[in-house]
């Protein structure tokens, strides 16, 4: 990546970080997806249950696979065998100790943008787990 782009992204991240703090978030700036994965794993205690809402970014990071490898209690809708069971597991994920999701976008003012066809991710962000 060109140096001027790195500098621009770093400045944007620093600016957004300050705006997110004002909105009661605790942002962590990472340099790449691998670092983001490691930082996220550090935040999830071994004894916590983990739900997730279906995020290509999170899947590509390898965090789900890593959580399974370390024996984490996972609430996984992809392991279900019927639409009814899938729906119930998606509801259970909202009560997990930790819910992993990603956002679709963020404004320059630090407002998160989410579009959700089912509503499970937005519900978890709004009323779900503490982490």
SS3 content of the chain, % helix, strand, coil (to 5): 50, 10, 40
Phi, psi (rounded to 5 degrees) for 81: -115, -5
DSSP codes, 104-125: SEE-TTS-EE---SSSHHHHHH
State the CB neighbour count (10 A cutoff) for residue 131. Answer: 14
- pLDDT score for 128: 66
User: Which residues of the chain carry a pLDDT beneath 50?
Assistant: none
- pLDDT score for 107: 95
- pLDDT tens for residues 79-108? 999 999 999 999 999 999 999 988 899 999
Q: What is the pTM of this model?
A: 0.83
- pLDDT score for 115: 84
- pLDDT score for 8: 96
What is the C-alpha separation between 96 and 129, in angstroms, rounded? Answer: 6
- pLDDT score for 131: 63
β-bridge mates for residue 74, sequence order: 50
């Amino acid at each position: 990546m060109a140096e001027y782009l790195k500098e621009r992204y770093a400045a944007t991240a620093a600016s957004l970080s300050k705006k997110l703090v004002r909105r009661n978030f605790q942002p962590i700036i990472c340099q790449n997806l691998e670092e983001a994965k490691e930082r996220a794993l550090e935040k999830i205690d071994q004894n916590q249950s983990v739900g997730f809402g279906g995020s290509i970014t999170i899947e590509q990071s390898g965090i789900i696979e890593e959580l399974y490898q370390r024996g984490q209690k996972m609430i996984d809708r992809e392991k279900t065998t019927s639409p009814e069971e899938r729906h119930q597991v998606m509801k259970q994920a909202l009560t997990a100790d930790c819910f992993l999701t990603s956002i679709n976008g963020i404004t320059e003012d630090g407002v998160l943008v989410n579009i959700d066809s089912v509503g499970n991710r937005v519900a978890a962000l709004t009323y779900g787990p503490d982490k």
